[in-house]
Amino acid sequence: MNLVPRAPIAPRAWLVWSLAAVTVGLSTDNPVYRGLVALVALNVLLTWLRPGRRLRPLALMLLVAAGTAALVNVFASHTGADLLARLPGDWPLVGGPLTLESVAFGGTVGLGLVAALLAVAPLSLVLEPYDVVDAMPRPLERTGIAVATSLNLVSGFGRTFTAVRDAQRMRGWRPRGLRSWNEVLVPVLLTAIEDSVVLAEAMEARGFGAGRRTSYASRRWSRWDLVVVASAVTAAASFIALRLAGVPVDWYPYPTLFLPPINPVLVLACLALSLPGLARPARGG
């Protein structure tokens, strides 16, 4: 399929798209809609991924978050008609029946997290930190800068950890139990705090924190940005409106598992979020 080349989407349009996709992904328990949002968001992310950005940390985060959420439900719910196994009742929290229904619902909980994380991933993997700042509503702009800037320190944190661990090892330190890590973690933490203070000082010296700010970037929107925003808002609004109208949006597989209901309008709403993925970045943008 030949995709239309498009200029980069405006940061604020990305913000709206992400918020809409998160709203859809978390406003329903239905795994069909959640799965659709996750797939659509993944496609959009892969289409617009900034060159040089790595997906592995995100994949790891998705695995851990979704896996943990699903497992907690499977082992802690203990309800449902279809018994799969039974853990000894005297085991705290996890003891009791494990059911097919709890596995299914655990899956949809994990899927919801995957959808939500993939929906916000473009804010970090497609946009630059300053794009995120530009996308923020005025009252949140300064908070956005503080957050974006603190993220700059993360890479230094990793480097400091390696350097300190190696240096302490050469001074005779060996990892022996949790307490021994104080010799590495304390200096790393102190260095991170010092770096943060230096950064705060540098920002203050450049006038950050004064009254009104202006932005270097143009905030003018293209027609394409408007279409992306309109489709995303329509998707989120559809879910909210149909829920308010009493249309079944959720899926609750207890006490007996059944297939999730599918409403064509809501499927279309999910697919409306795929619009940014139907183009390709012009000039590698």
Partner 1 sequence: MTAHPATNTAQPIVRIDGLTYRYPGAAMPSLRSIDLEIGPGLTLVIGGSGGGKSTLLRLLDGLVPQFHGGRISGSATVAGLDPLRTPIPRLAQRVGLVFQDVETQSVYGSVEREVAFGLENAAVTRTEMHDRVDEALAGLSIEHLRGRRLSTLSGGERQRVQLAAVLAMRPELVALDEPTSQLDPEGAEAVLAACRGIVRAGRAMVIAEHRLESLLPAADRLLLVEEGRVDATAPAAARGVTAAGRRHSAVRDGLAWETSGLAAGPAGSEVLASVSLAGGAGEVVALIGPNGSGKTTLLRTLAGLIPPLSGTVRRPAGRTAYLPQNPGALLHLPTVRAEVELTLRRAGATESPELMLGTFGLVGLANRYPRDLSSGERQRAALAATLAGSPALVLLDEPTRGMDAAARSSLAAAVRSLTERGSAVVVATHDTELAAELADRTIALRDGRAVEVEPERGATDAGDAAPAAEGTR
| Distance in angstroms between the alpha carbons of the first and the last residue of the chain | 19
Task: Please list the residues that pair with 6 across neighbouring strands.
Answer: 281
CB 278 within 8 A of CB 271: no
Contacting residue, 13, 188, 273, 279, with partner 1 by CB under 8 A: 188
Which residue lies nearer to partner 1 by CB, 90 or 138? 138
Contacting residue, 124, 168, 222, 234, with partner 1 by CB under 8 A: 168
- Min separation Cβ 279 and partner 1, Å: 22
Size of the residue set binding partner 1 (CB under 8 A): 51
Residue 203 makes contact with partner 1 by CB under 8 A: yes
Q: What is the DSSP string of 77-122?
A: H---SSEEEEE-TTSTTT-EEEEHHHHHHHHHHHHHHHHHHHHHTH
Contacting residue, 28, 160, 238, 274, with partner 1 by CB under 8 A: 160
Contacting residue, 176, 212, 223, 283, with partner 1 by CB under 8 A: 212
Contacting residue, 7, 63, 140, 163, with partner 1 by CB under 8 A: 163
Within 214-253, the residues that bind partner 1 by CB under 8 A are: 214-218
- Min separation Cβ 18 and partner 1, Å: 19
Distances (CA, A) of 245 to 50, 94, 242: 40, 38, 5
Residue 148 makes contact with partner 1 by CB under 8 A: yes
Contacting residue, 1, 137, 155, 259, with partner 1 by CB under 8 A: 155
Residue 126 makes contact with partner 1 by CB under 8 A: no
Tell me the C-alpha distance between 6 and 24, whole Å. 25
Give the number of other Cβ atoms within 10 Å of residue 171's Cβ: 8
Residue 204 makes contact with partner 1 by CB under 8 A: yes
Tell me the C-alpha distance between 118 and 124, whole Å. 10
Segment near partner 1 (CB under 8 A), from 90-98, 107-115, 208-216, 272-280?
Answer: 208-216
Q: What is the DSSP string of 149-193?
A: HHHHHHHHHHHHHHHHHHHHHHTT----HHHHTHHHHHHHHHHHH
Contacting residue, 67, 209, 255, 285, with partner 1 by CB under 8 A: 209
Residue 169 makes contact with partner 1 by CB under 8 A: yes
Residue 205 makes contact with partner 1 by CB under 8 A: yes
Residue 167 makes contact with partner 1 by CB under 8 A: yes
Radius of gyration of the chain (CA): 23
Tell me the C-alpha distance between 8 and 284, whole Å. 9
Three-class SS state of 6: strand
Residue 87 identity (one-letter amino acid): L
The residues of the shown chain that bind partner 1, judged by CB under 8 A, are: 128-130, 145, 148-149, 152-153, 155-156, 160, 163-164, 166-173, 182-183, 186-188, 190-191, 194-195, 198-218
